[in-house]
Structure 1
Amino acid sequence: MRALARKGKSAMVRLYRGYNRRKKRDAPPPSIRRVRILLLHANGMGGTIRTVFNLASYLAEEHDVEIVSVLKEADAPFFPIDPRVKFRFLDDRIDPGLDPVRALLSKLPSRLIPKEESAYHRFNLWTDLKLARFIRSLDTGVLMATRPGLNLALAQLAKPGVITIGQEHVALRTQAEPIQELIKWRYRRLDALVTLTKADLADYRETLPKQPRKLVRIPNAVPPMSGEVSKLDAKVAVAVGRMTRIKGFHRLITAWETVAAAHPDWKLRIFGAGPQEENLAKQIVEAGLEDKVELPGPTTDVGAELEKSSIYVLSSRHEGFPMTILEAMAKGLAIVSFNSPHGPKEMIKNGVDGLLVKPRTNANLAAAVMRVIEDEQLRRDLAARALETAHKYDPDVVGKKWDALLEELLARRDGSWAAARQSKEPAEAPSAREQPSAQEQSPAQEQPAAQEQSPAQR
């Protein structure tokens, strides 16, 4: 029976590959005019959503851009969006209608998204169907995904005529082992994989046996914000983020007990919402910090709140590339952050444009905050240099990297990239170091890996 099952799976693989080869022959010419970006829930809150909106706005200058949200769980976007950017929702959970097929499939677990994906519980068989239909409906253009589950689905299902880009907002090393195993073999099918940090880029280069045709680091850009640069005269420290355990706000509140005892005239404001909000509010009461720590809820105007603060504190256990640090830098705040190789460590030069603290050490976090409070000159020096650092992440600077990537991916598809490289090569044969890598060969040259599985298993 097992041998028969293996033969059946092998036949499915051959049929699937043959279908894709036929689609490739009939596909329209490659194009980057239309760019579609897959998000989990575009109307929600979070750093990934905000950075995607920011990128979409930049690309809309030259491209037809559409944000495709798997879920619709709110009537309107939480963050402002460029009117030139189109929206599409695959699963409207506000007004689901009376479709009996949908009602049935929505009760069944997802088979497309790996169980180890952190957002697995948000998917079901209905979202699988809608997502697969959307991906398979595209013959050309650019399709970008923004989280592991969506990247894996994109790599598995996209037709050959579509230029595919996976964007990672979470470090590879923090992914569950089964996710990392799928990444090893599926991500090679992407045209490009974009990481936010140099550390994550190095991890992917080391981990992937066969890499995508383009593996590159492009950081997030500073989003537009209202207001002016902070005057640093407010006795306020601020933190922003979704209220989950990974953000470490419980550690920040514990650290603030020490800060408040030494500096009772300073306040901490934590903006955001999430499953830990009630626990954090209870912790504040139990610590007697009701008039020292505030939970104002989420804000749509981060710039205004940062302008009214002097210190930004990041207490996350780990981060990919925290937008809140960039925003705080752009507003000229002094920054204190737990250290992490995949984000804060690359963004902050310790003692120059911020202070880095050993992760998960509440006492050290409190000591660093008090150091910035007590040394006004240090606070102003850190803030001034942070403002200089933020200029490296201006939207135009980062946007040009995306322009270059899209142009290169198009050139790789239409053959002009290989021709340009050959024209630059010396007459003598290239050295082994200069030989094109496996991921730079044409799709026809690539050989399927021994680990290749059927579409249902991949």
Structure 2
Amino acid sequence: LYDDGHELHDGVPAYPLQKVYLRNLFPAPRTPATGPSKSRGGLENLVKKVPNIWPLPQLKWAATYAPFIKRLHKALNDLKPDVVIGFMPTGIMAAVEAAKPLGIPVIASTHNVPEQDFGLSSPRWDANPKYRKRRLQALHKADHILVLQDDFKQWFDSALQNKISVMPNPIAAATMSLTGPREACVIGVGRLTAIKRYDILIAAFAKISAKHPDWRLEIYGDGPEKNALQHQIDRLNMSEQIKLAGICHDIMPVYAKAGIMCHPSSFEGFGLSVAEALAHGLPVAADAACSGVTALIQDGENGILVETGAAPDEAFANTLDHLMSDPMMRTKLGLAAPSSVLSYAPDVILDRWQQVLSACQADHDLV
């Protein structure tokens, strides 16, 4: 069940669905001439731009979120599920407000640094103070809360501590051989957004490219920073050595052939691309201040945690220079990488999910 306010086209799921059913609560109106209508998403964007001056926040919340919650409530009343899982702040808020009045237990599955998603001063998500307050209240009403890392539990207040569990993302082990030759290639993998800081990676690589003429940098992904990053590459006259490789629908062979991954992101809930790279024996250099990767990288064992300080491009340049110059170090880190993520194997994580679901349902039955 999902609100497609931001997905207004009829798309095909990225993964095959087995015993999983999609039910669009807001199917976009279609006409033979124009296809799906985008009117609802445009209206939401207009509403969100209205100033948050009392009493407008309440009216904006009612216009933006109440229709979806109402339809979700009706759908849950028809389906009568055992448990509802809300993902991310908006999904959690909607799940709580739609399911709790029906007596259905709700699991709040967070997927980012908690401060970034639930902090009242965070710039992420909707700036409407009514929305920010209700998404935080939803955590208190949920039956259980899932966080990606143990350190994230400390952000929540004491009243929530006894219903928080750690639930990392599952990471599939590499299915191809890890013994093949590695290319002289540094990769970055992720959406081209400001928080990923690929501008720092581009600047760092440019500083040392003359010393390592056989190496290249490829950044996989797409996003709003694409044009700015391409302009940066052109301005540095690095178009031959640095490529924005776009979206790759099968990134696993890239991990298996690359020489180094560099991940300069400022924060992550869980560095999924980092974990995937490690599973494929690829050493990773990442920012030591990025909590989403510090649980994955053991500095000097399976990767390098870079202390960036006031000059992150210089710090990453020095680290990349060291790794590019030392094939034995890259081999050592790469050999240790796959075993370091075994605790995130799908079977292990699925067992943890089953335990949480069973416990949540059992607790609800006792009430």
Task: Look up the match of 2:293.
Answer: 344
Q: Is the 8 A contact 1:249 1:315 kept in 2?
A: yes
1:138 maps to which of 72, 76, 84? 76
Task: Look up the match of 1:243.
Answer: 192
Q: Does 1:210 align with 2:159?
A: yes
CA distance in 2, matches of 1:232, 1:355: 21
Q: Give the match's secondary structure for 1:239.
A: strand
Residues 213 and 252 from structure 1, CA distance in 2 versus in 1: closer, same or farther, beyond 3 angstroms? same
Q: Is the 8 A contact 2:6 2:41 kept in 1?
A: no
Task: Look up the match of 1:397.
Answer: 348
Task: Look up the match of 1:191.
Answer: 143
Q: Which has the larger radius of gyration?
A: 1
Q: Does 1:361 align with 2:312?
A: yes
Residues 105 and 268 from structure 1, CA distance in 2 versus in 1: closer, same or farther, beyond 3 angstroms? closer
Question: What are the Cα deviations for residues 237-295 of structure 1, in whole angstroms up to 9, with x where unaligned?
Answer: 11111111111011110001123121111011101111110111111011111111111
Aligned residue type for 1:331: H
Q: Is the 8 A contact 1:230 1:332 kept in 2?
A: no
Structure 1 residue ranges without an equivalent (≥5) = 1-35, 41-68, 116-122, 416-441, 443-458
CA distance in 1, matches of 2:36, 2:302: 55
Q: 1:215, CA displacement in angstroms?
A: 0.7
Task: Look up the match of 2:327.
Answer: 376
Task: Look up the match of 2:89.
Answer: 148
Q: Is the 8 A contact 2:90 2:135 kept in 1?
A: no
Pairs aligned (count)? 339
Task: Look up the match of 2:270.
Answer: 321
CA distance in 1, matches of 2:65, 2:9: 17
CA distance in 1, matches of 2:178, 2:62: 45
Q: 1:173, CA displacement in angstroms?
A: 2.2
2:120 maps to which of 167, 171, 177? 177
Identity over aligned pairs, percent: 23
Task: Look up the match of 2:58.
Answer: none
CA distance in 2, matches of 1:315, 1:373: 17
Task: Look up the match of 1:49.
Answer: none
Q: Give the match's secondary structure for 2:262.
A: strand
CA distance in 2, matches of 1:300, 1:94: 30
CA distance in 2, matches of 1:151, 1:326: 26
Residues 409 and 269 from structure 1, CA distance in 2 versus in 1: closer, same or farther, beyond 3 angstroms? same
1:411 maps to which of 354, 362, 365? 362
Question: What are the Cα deviations for residues 189-229 of structure 1, in whole angstroms up to 9, with x where unaligned?
Answer: 1011100011111222xxx2532762111111114766443
Question: What are the Cα deviations for residues 316-370 of structure 1, in whole angstroms up to 9, with x where unaligned?
Answer: 1111101001110111101111123531111111111110012461111111112
Q: Is the 8 A contact 2:145 2:165 kept in 1?
A: yes
What root-mean-square deviation, in Å, do the aligned CA atoms of Structure 1 and Structure 2 show?
3.1
* TM score, norm. by length of structure 2: 0.82
Structure 2 residue ranges without an equivalent (≥5) = 54-60, 123-131
Matches within 5 A, 1:1-400: 71-77=6-12, 79-92=14-27, 95=30, 109=47, 125=63, 128-139=66-77, 140-141=80-81, 142-158=83-99, 159-175=101-117, 176-177=119-120, 182=134, 184-204=136-156, 208=157, 210-211=159-160, 214-223=163-172, 227-229=176-178, 231-340=180-289, 342-359=291-308, 361-400=312-351
CA distance in 1, matches of 2:74, 2:27: 20
CA distance in 2, matches of 1:155, 1:355: 41
CA distance in 2, matches of 1:397, 1:155: 28
Question: What are the Cα deviations for residues 12-39 of structure 1, in whole angstroms up to 9, with x where unaligned?
Answer: xxxxxxxxxxxxxxxxxxxxxxxx6x5x
CA distance in 2, matches of 1:93, 1:308: 42
Q: Which moved more, 1:138-147 or 1:327-336?
A: 138-147
Q: 1:92, CA displacement in angstroms?
A: 4.2
Residues 280 and 147 from structure 1, CA distance in 2 versus in 1: closer, same or farther, beyond 3 angstroms? same
Q: Give the match's secondary structure for 1:343.
A: helix
CA distance in 1, matches of 2:30, 2:172: 32
Q: Is the 8 A contact 1:351 1:382 kept in 2?
A: yes
Question: What are the Cα deviations for residues 56-88 of structure 1, in whole angstroms up to 9, with x where unaligned?
Answer: xxxxxxxxxxxxx55434443463333332222
Residues 94 and 183 from structure 1, CA distance in 2 versus in 1: closer, same or farther, beyond 3 angstroms? closer
CA distance in 2, matches of 1:233, 1:255: 21
Aligned residue type for 1:402: W
